[in-house]
A and B are shown apart, each in its own frame.
Chain A
């Protein structure tokens, strides 16, 4: 992590320790986060169905990415099975709603709790192994769970998949995209605030300590086994929650949606967004989801100019997505959030910056 100077402008003093631990580093950030949230909420009815769908998906993926970030960015472990936990949440929520008649709004967090338990079981190897070996061990969770989905008819409906109805409460159904969008926003805000809180309290610090130097963390009294498995649990909780939101959004859950490709996309989101940063994970989710569409329109435009490109358009699109990610990693290896921190620092010093 490179050096980021104290972002607070001159004159913005913190006079109590409580104040020093605020959710956001500067008042400007607090205000802009609130304004942004208000704008999104107010503007949502007017942006059209296409963008609404995009925002819902970004929100759902962002919740899962924030969860994965606890595991990878904060605790320094790795998981190639995050999509499987995401899928488990989707199936579990549909299962609870269909088989037991649990109201969907309650089934979603309940499914997340079930996913936590599953995640902690698959996280047990993490107590012993690290790095690439752990990556392979979590790969097993990906395959075991997807296999389970396609075989366990009682749970997931097997190869046919499961129906997942939209939630409703007291006759108010989240049946339109707009209403569902507000539901996703609610959980996204809850997730972001909860994880930010976690990172500024005891257990969040313990996670970072385990990542930075596990030997000395242990000497400081941090129980390594407990925290390694716990981070799998918390990460799976948010994966399960996001999965449940995903399933009930599409109203149908199928095994094919949760391949290892999605697991790797989750990893790409947090790496591009910025490892260890909650807001970076949101930016990363938006980046990964929107990049193909930006590239799509760019190549379509290019095809107008160079008609010869028309037939190879889709290949050019795929290649430019890859190129964009590689360029990004070369020029901003610390993620989108670091770019923001630099902008913030340069504002603070303006006009003396650069």
Chain B
């Protein structure tokens, strides 16, 4: 295997909200073709980190390089153009649009027709482009097995399906890097297995690099290549998933201080 290239290079990111330090000097990198998981207890700053990459938050310090290009100076909508897609922890679909239209929005930055050619539709090439885009996203619909709900308004779907539509919309961007914020939250075992399969497939077949936040440790250990652990806005561990879950600091972060001291506190209290 040749030396992997760095797809995402995060250096010394610090993010503050007023006096609250959400992230402190976070550094990690994600190689091309990797599935990289960010884990940590609630409130550890995982979603804040993802928001820094997708542009929702602007960190006060540090730098993020994507494919060697500086990311922080770019606007949010520009980041879709250079190849970053994401899904959200709380569903963020366009609930009144049909599933097809939702996915087509992901194609927005690749399409050429504007409001004028759109209004003329038949003469400016908009019709042709729309039909072509439809044909392309149909592959994504097949891949995620959501054919049966194509024309339904996204807001009327079940939770698991909505998560899939969100993933489809992110894939439609044709990203090099996809950020998944808790893709399996609130799913049953079967749906989780499906989702894990989709993530592996989109990583291996489509060649998309994945950064994922996930709480289900089983899934994290099974599918991710590398893992970073955040706690209270700081990175406490990074490495192979099997190593990370055995790390003492990580165990403490997840389970609290060890049993003895818990007992001590109980006695005191």
Contact = CB atoms under 8 A, between A and B. Distances in A.
A209 B130 contact: no
Interface string A1-23: 10100100000000011101100
A209 B106 CA distance: 10
Contacts of B115: 198, 203-204, 230, 234
Contact of A209 (B97, B117, B151, B156): B97
B226 interface: no
Contacts of A209: 94, 97, 105, 108
Contacts of A220: 77, 80, 105-106, 108-109, 169, 173
A205 interface: yes
Contact of A221 (B80, B93, B129, B153): B80
Given A212-B94, A230-B115, A20 B134 contact: yes
A205 B105 contact: yes
Contacts of B80: 219-221
A263 to B, nearest CB: 24
Interface in B136-162: 138, 151, 153, 155-156
A218 B115 CA distance: 18
B268 interface: no
A197 B118 contact: yes
Contacts, number: 125
A70 B115 CA distance: 12
B11 interface: no
B77 A208 contact: no
Interface string A317-342: 00000000000000000000000000
A222 B113 contact: no
A18 B131 CA distance: 5
B114 interface: yes
- With most chain A CB atoms within 10 A of its CB, the pick from B88, B92, B105, B115 is B115
B111 interface: yes
Interface in B97-135: 97, 101, 104-106, 108-109, 111, 113-115, 117-121, 126-127, 129-132, 134-135
A354 interface: no
A134 B138 CA distance: 39
Interface string B73-93: 001111111000110100011
A6 B129 CA distance: 24
Interface string A273-298: 00010000000000000000000000
Contact of A198 (B95, B118, B135, B169): B118
Contacts of B138: 17
A47 to B, nearest CB: 31
A213 B77 contact: no
A41 interface: no
B56 interface: yes
Interface string A230-268: 100010000000000000000000000000000000000
A200 B130 contact: yes
A202 B127 contact: no
Contact of A1 (B54, B96, B106, B117): B96
A223 B77 contact: yes
A54 to B, nearest CB: 28
A224 interface: yes
A112 B101 CA distance: 30
Contacts of A20: 134
Contact of A219 (B76, B93, B121): B76
B55 interface: yes
Contacts of A92: none
A211 B155 CA distance: 14
A201 B126 contact: yes
14 contacts: A200-B121, A202-B114, A204-B115, A204-B118, A208-B94, A213-B92, A215-B88, A216-B94, A218-B76, A219-B85, A220-B80, A221-B81, A221-B106, A234-B115
Interface of B: 54-56, 75-81, 85-86, 88, 92-97, 101, 104-106, 108-109, 111, 113-115, 117-121, 126-127, 129-132, 134-135, 138, 151, 153, 155-156, 169, 173
Given A21-B127, A21-B130, A209-B94, 11 more contacts: A1-B155, A6-B151, A202-B129, A205-B97, A205-B104, A215-B88, A216-B92, A217-B105, A219-B77, A222-B77, A230-B115
